[in-house]
């Protein structure tokens, strides 16, 4: 099973459909656009999330109009603008910068929700973990957001640190005896960016199920995408280079409920402090690009 998708040298440089991935929900693309270039789309029966990686755009639609003014220069110089679009949205996105880089995902939706542009200043930031497993979450579309299934988060892992660690999984829906959701069944894509072409990260995807074994170790570079169909999936950033990845998830619940690998769960209580290098990016950096 091929779990890593290399980027293509074309306008749509990443494209993963649920059908090609062999799963049920999650579709993903990344697109480059030049000045004044347009993209017209109809979400149909799907909801969609568009994440601004760099540049600026304007959107005109039957559900409203939106425009970004302080888009970041790249993912290491600010926080994303995030546009959520519900079902039956017909829109045209127009690039208003010399170069525009966007990533977006979509999946079928059960209900109609309000469209929304979430600005960098409105995006929750969390410094999670500890010691050399500290990382930064920017919760673009967090659990509890008004949508059917999609969850989206961008993660910054400093040079040499571990991320998605201790390892966790979300490949089965588990409800406890009190009726509380303990684990959601989610499909997930990791989409990577690095500051230099020689940089990389290592991602492992493994299961403990002897009936359905999976154990892959992947070396991922700039613009690579990794599919996580099941299993635990930790990441480590190569020493000397910070790592960015954008997570898109969809599945049984609009949730991040997961189960840690019991072999490493003790590590949660072992951390002595946080990595002082974090946060790596802040909303103030967006505004500095346009002063």
Q: pLDDT of 272-286, one tens digit each?
A: 999 999 999 999 999
For the chain, which ranges sit under pLDDT 70?
A: 1, 290-291
pLDDT of 239 reads: 97
Which of 169, 149, 140, 142 shows the shortest CA–CA distance to 244?
A: 140
State how far the Cα of 186 lies from the Cα of 174, in Å rounded to an integer. 12
pLDDT at 291: 62
Of 271, 279, 204, nearest in space to 235 by CA? 204
141-173, pLDDT tens digit by residue?
999 999 999 999 999 999 999 999 999 999 999
Q: Where would I find the beta strands (DSSP E) of 119-270? A: 125-128, 135-141, 151-157, 162-163, 168-169, 171-175, 181-194, 201-206, 215-220, 225-228, 235-237, 243-251, 259-260
Alpha-carbon span 251 to 108, nearest angstrom:
10
CA distances from 230 to 70, 169, 181, 213 (A): 37, 7, 18, 10
- pLDDT, residue 15, reads 97
Name which CATH class applies to 4-274: mainly beta
Query: What is the model's pLDDT at position 212?
Result: 81
Separation CA 155–CA 274 (nearest Å): 16
Per-residue tokens: 287: 């505004």
First-to-last alpha carbon distance for the chain, in angstroms, is: 48
DSSP 287: H
Beta bridge partners of 64: 61
Domain boundaries, the chain: 4-274
């Amino acid at each position: 099973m091929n779990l890593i998708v290399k980027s293509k040298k074309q306008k749509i440089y990443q494209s993963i459909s649920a059908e090609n991935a062999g799963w049920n929900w999650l579709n993903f693309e990344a697109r480059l656009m030049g000045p004044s270039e347009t993209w017209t789309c109809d979400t149909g029966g799907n909801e969609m999330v568009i994440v601004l990686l760099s540049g600026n755009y304007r959107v005109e639609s039957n559900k409203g109009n939106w425009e970004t003014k302080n888009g970041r220069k790249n993912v290491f110089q600010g926080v994303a603008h995030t546009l959520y679009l519900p079902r039956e949205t017909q829109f045209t996105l127009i690039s208003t910068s010399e170069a525009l880089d966007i990533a977006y995902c979509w999946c079928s939706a059960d209900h109609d929700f309000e469209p929304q542009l979430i600005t960098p200043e409105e995006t929750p930031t969390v410094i999670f973990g500890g010691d050399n497993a500290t990382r930064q979450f920017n919760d673009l579309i967090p659990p509890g957001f008004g949508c059917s299934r999609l969850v989206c988060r961008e993660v910054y892992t400093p040079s040499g640190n571990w991320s998605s660690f201790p390892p966790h999984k979300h490949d089965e829906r588990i409800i406890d005896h009190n009726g509380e959701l303990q684990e959601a069944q989610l499909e997930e894509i990791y989409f990577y960016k690095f500051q230099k072409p020689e940089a990389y990260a290592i991602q492992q995807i493994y299961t403990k199920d002897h009936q359905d074994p999976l154990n892959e170790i992947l070396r991922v570079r700039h613009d690579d995408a990794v599919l996580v169909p099941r299993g635990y999936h930790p990441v480590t950033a190569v020493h000397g280079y910070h790592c960015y990845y954008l997570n898109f998830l969809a599945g049984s619940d609009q949730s991040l409920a997961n189960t840690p690998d019991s072999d490493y769960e003790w590590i949660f209580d072992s951390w002595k402090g946080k990595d002082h290098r974090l946060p790596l990016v802040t909303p103030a950096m967006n505004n500095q690009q346009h002063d």
